[in-house]
Chain A
Amino acid sequence: MSRHSSRDPREFIVGKYYKIKGGDLVLPDDFRSREFAFQLFNMKSYMRHIVFESKEELKRWILVKLPHSAFYSSAIYEIPDAPTMKEKGWSGAELQLDIDVDHLIECKDKTYNPCKNSSVGLELFREECLEIGLAKAYEAKNILEKDFGLKYIEIHFSGNRGFHVLVKDRDLLLLEGEERRELADYLNGTGLALNIIIPKRRGLISQIPQPEEPGWRGRLARWALYLHRKEAISVSFEEFFWSNLERITQHASIETDAQVTIDTTRLVRIPGSINGKSGLIVSEVKKGPDEEVRLDEFSPFKGTLKIKPLCNMEVYFGGNKNVFSKNITYKVEGNIGVFLLFKGLAGLVYSGDLIV
């Protein structure tokens, strides 16, 4: 595939970022056993099967290629730069959960098309979705710790639509894809059979589960308690439990994308790298589950950018609703400017005052 002879303006911005922050890329200790992969601007295919001996070498590569996206493999290989899976010698993979916030049921009514009355179609989500998604990510982490006894769990913002939960415990590395699916199903409640976990037997008056019980019984009981209290309903807890069981189950489900979890040769976005779909930075989340999260926190860009919007639009970013008119040149703050540019919602006019 041939590349455009003139460089994409986004590449200058990516270069600006990595020149200052290229050293901030976070790599696992065993990065020499991982395959690196890159997507370049205006190229559909990935550059794959690349290895690096040092972080410096990686930084130099990135400053030359100015990639749209940068990844390393969740898998560990004997020969990570071998061209085929067979030759690579798969020797395990970290477990990954993918939570796309715009797919969450609680976020369904919070997605929007920023372009009003226009053929430019694009779906964005309101920033509240980040908190909803982060809460789900923390729940997943909590279940993995409590129910599965796992210890080394990180939550990463993917740089675009959601969160990745990465489980690095070594005794998970060798799980096969279908075995990983059982974990994803456990988190998501896929295949949950209420008649099995809360058995109804002849001549038996069923008892509702208790919050301290293991597995889904405890999870359902805890969510029922929480919802009953929150909704301050006058019906008894027991009655509430039986009549809202389906809704309680829905709340207790995590909603991760199981296809990501079962893939034992997945690519992980490098923390500290820029996500070319948004101009935001992939990063480990340190905030707690109840704290406010906004998109601008993940942008490293300051200063200003001159842009020209491609449609009349409203964009939720940085805690505000930002309104723009088509074809008028705006001087905006670096963070939202880069976001609009990378989302394909605006054209670049001048980037000389952009700072990292």
Chain B
Amino acid sequence: MKVDFSRYPFLVSLNDYMVAVHKYIVDLDSLLENKSIVNLAVKRIESAIKGRIFDGRGLSTDDLVISFHIAVLLIKKVNSRWLQSRFANFEAERSYRFLQEEDQRSLMNVLRVSGVNVDKPRKELRILVGYTKGGREVYDAYDFIIAFQGYVRYTRRFWGEGKWKLVNRLVSGGFVYIRQDELARLGKEVFYVKIMGMFDEIELVPIQTLESLADKVKQLIPEKYVETSGLGGLSLTGKTGKVVVEALPPCIKRIYNAMLKGDNLSHHERFAIATFLLALGVDTEYLVNLFRNLPDFNEKITRYQIEHLAGKRGSGRKYSPYNCESMRSRGLCVAECGVKHPLTYYFSELRKLKKEKDREKTQPASSETRR
């Protein structure tokens, strides 16, 4: 069964596609000379930058597959982690819309080609969950099963939502039961990971046209995302507003670094870092700027949510940051720090750093270079 590559262009390499459809090996030079296809690629990137899903209606499969791959090449050349993640996010979203419309067989086929071990159970699983007042039986039905290794790999950003955690799933014989809509949602994540993987895998060949096109794409990136130090322009050491980054506990530092790189964060990761930094006294502006790096950033929504967490909206209740136990249960704890709350770690590190600084001040003659 064939996959419609115009919908899922990342499931075929440019070369394989050209060989299969046109019987010749791709000649990148001449492809890049083709103005209309290059323009399409740039438009595709522009859509992502502007936060829109690329609309490819009316375009041929050739146009759609080739423009996608040229876009990937250009972004790779631009070398902006933010743009990579942003593009992967919106392309995955685009393909997800198609995936939701596929019938069961095509859905399964697309995911298999994506490398997911998915199947139909030998017998459909029906769980009797209860009865209506009239005595009618009510069942939950599960149409698909997916190997648990793939399940835990692709659901990690959803674990904050209880229903995706493995412990709350029906698991048997190495497979997790999953409903059709859930499988499509998981598929979107697979696509995102796949596209991000392409940026790591492809190797660039030095072509002059590519260089100049990449420069053009760079111009499209809003100033605030242009990477100066390779970390979204924000400093990693020393004071950032009121926050001393060196003193952050490992769990928060990990999320912080992921944000600077422009990685996509889960809901709980966002909640954890926002409430933690709010507790340190940073203002909304600082946080909004930090969240700008995320591929799905929307200023209005972010601002609203941060103000909500800060207690400036809604109930007026300020949300407190997770303690270590809560971090752990959400899979966000990354080290054994010997404290019960990440804030404790921060403040004790802060004291340590202060002491070190004071010592340096009193012994200015030391020739040792500090890291």
Q: Are A190 and B329 in contact (CB under 8 A)?
A: yes
**Residues of B within 8 Å of A, CB-based: how many?**
34
Min CB gap A151→B, angstroms: 10
Residue on A nearest B336 in the bound complex, by CB:
A259
Residues of chain A in range 302-339 having any CB-CB distance to chain B below 8 Å? none
Q: Which residues, 128 to 175 on B, are CB-close (under 8 Å) to A?
A: 128-133, 138, 140, 148-149, 152-153, 156, 159, 162-163, 165-175
**CB contact under 8 A between A207 and B159, given known A149-B174, A185-B165, A185-B166:** no
Residues of B within 8 A of A203 (CB): 132-133
A71 interface residue per 8 A CB criterion: no
A158 vs chain B, min Cβ distance (A):
19
The 8 A CB mask of B5-28 against A (1 = contact, 0 = none) is: 000000000000000000000000
Q: Interface size class for chain A?
A: 35 or more
Q: Which residue of A lies closest to B332 (CB)?
A: A178
Give A204's nearest chain B residue, CB to CB: B130
Partner of A207, one of B125, B128, B156: B128
Residue A171, interface by CB 8 Å: yes
In the complex, A207 Cα to B135 Cα: how many Å?
12
Report whether A206 and B168 are in contact in the complex, using a CB–CB cutoff of 8 Å: no
Of A25-33, A58-66, A194-202, A224-232, the stretch lying at the interface with chain B is A194-202
B125's nearest neighbour on chain A, judged by CB, is A214
Task: Identify which of B125, B168, B328, B336 contacts A197 (C-beta below 8 A).
Answer: B168
A207 engages B149 (CB within 8 Å): no
Closest to A199 in B: B129
Chain B contact residues, majority secondary structure:
mixed
CB distance from B60 to the nearest CB of A (A): 39
Which of these, A179, A186, A199, A207, contacts B167 with CB under 8 Å?
Answer: A186
Query: A183: CB under 8 A from chain B?
Result: yes
Q: In the complex, which of the residues A176, A193, A201 contacts B129, with contact meaning CB atoms closer than 8 Å? A: A201
A192 to B168, CA, bound (A): 6
Q: Is B51 an interface residue (CB 8 A)?
A: no
B170 and A217: CB pair below 8 A?
Answer: yes
Indicate whether A150 sits within 8 Å of B127 (C-beta atoms), given known contacts A178-B156, A216-B168: no
Assembly CA distance A282 to B212 (angstroms): 65
* Contact partners of B173 in chain A: CB under 8 A: 146-149
Binary CB contact string for chain A from 140 to 153 against chain B (1 if under 8 A, 0 otherwise): 00000011111000
Residues in A whose Cβ lies below 8 Å from that of B328: 258
Say yes or no for A191: interface residue by CB 8 A criterion. Answer: yes
State in angstroms the CA–CA spacing of A182 and B150 once bound together.
12
Q: B333: shortest Cβ distance to chain A, in Å?
A: 9
* Residue B250 lies at the interface, judged by CB distance under 8 Å to chain A: no
Can you show 16 pairs from A to B with CB atoms below 8 A apart? A146-B173, A147-B171, A147-B172, A148-B174, A149-B175, A175-B152, A181-B331, A185-B165, A185-B166, A196-B162, A196-B168, A198-B129, A199-B140, A205-B131, A214-B170, A216-B168
Q: Which 8 A-B pairs have the closest CB atoms?
A: A149-B174, A214-B172, A215-B170, A204-B130, A179-B152, A182-B166, A193-B162, A214-B170
Taking Cβ atoms with an 8 Å cutoff, the residues of A that contact B are: 146-150, 171-172, 175-176, 178-179, 181-183, 185-186, 189-193, 196-199, 201, 203-207, 210, 213-217, 258-259
